[in-house]
Amino acid sequence: MTSSARTFWRVGPALAALGHRAIAVDLRGHGRTGGGADGHGFAFVDAAREAAAVGRAAFPGRPDGALSVIGHSWGAIVAAHLPMAGLRPGRIVLLDPPVMDRAILEWMINDPSSRPDTSLDSALATIRRANPTWPEGEQIVKAEALTEVVPGAAIAVLLGNGDWDAGLVALGDPAAAGIPTWIVRGEDAGGSLTPAAWLPRFAERIGADRILTVADGPHSPQRTHLEATLVALLRALEVG
C-alpha cells in the first residue's frame, strides 16, 4: 500500500529476458503517478478500471485475452477485480493477496515501516531497521516509494475497502468465470498475508493445483526469495 511499480524492479527484467513484455504500473497515489490527495478513486474496482486502461494503452490492438496480469498485495486484489472492471486477461496471477480485517488495516496506518516520509534518508533508515535481511536494492526501492506515496491515498486504500478478502469475492463474480487464475504466496510463518486457513476456499474457486507456496516466503517474496518466486510466477504464466 506504500510501495510502487519498482516492487518489480528485478521481476520485470527477468520476465522480459525470457520473452515476456513486462509493464509495471504505479497505481493512483503511488510512485510517479501521484494524485489522489482527495481520497477518491481507491475502491478496488475503480483502481482496476484505471489499471485496465493502462494495460490497453500499453498493448494497443492486442485483445484482452492476450494479456497476463500479475498483482502483488493491494495490486493483487485490484487484479482480481479486473474482470468486474471490464477486462478479461488471459490469466491472472495474485502474488500474496492479503486477508485483513479492519483492526489490522488500522494498525498498518501507524506502522512506521509503511508510513510516508518526505526524507529519503529517514525512510531508508526506517526500512533498514524494519527489514534488515532485505537486499540493499530492495530497501532503497521501498524507501523511495515512501517518499512518493500520497498519504491520503494510502489511508483511502486501507480504510475505504472494508475487510480485505484477498480478492475471493471478486473472483467469484460471473465476469471472472473461465479465466485461469493462480495464487503465489509466502508462508504464514514467514509473514504471508494469504493465510493457509483460506487456501481451501481458493482451491474451491480456482483449483488447488493453481496455488503455489514459496517456502519460508514473506508477504513480498520477490524481495527476499527472488529465484523461488520467479519459478512460481513462470509456472503460473506458462502452464494452462
* Proportion of the chain above pLDDT 70, given as a percent: 100
Rounded distance, CA 142 to CA 2, Å?
Answer: 8
Tell me: pLDDT of 189 over 90: yes
Cell, residue 205 = 474457486
Q: What is the pLDDT of residue 147?
A: 96
Question: What separation, in Å, do the N-terminal and C-terminal C-alpha atoms of the chain show?
Answer: 30
Tell me: pLDDT of 37 over 80: no
Tell me: pLDDT of 21 over 90: yes
**What's the mean pLDDT in 6-17?**
97
The alpha carbon dihedral of 223, 2, 190, 95 has a sign of negative
* Proportion of the chain above pLDDT 90, given as a percent: 92
Q: What is the pLDDT of residue 240?
A: 64
Q: What is the pLDDT of residue 239?
A: 80
61 sits in the region (left: phi over 0; alpha: psi -120 to 50; else beta) called left
Using a 10 angstrom Cβ sphere, with 0-12 exposed, 13-18 middle and 19 or more buried, the burial of residue 57 is exposed
Amino acid identity, position 48: A
Tens of pLDDT along 123-180? 999 999 999 999 999 999 999 999 999 999 999 999 999 999 999 999 999 999 999 9
Q: What is the pLDDT of residue 191?
A: 96
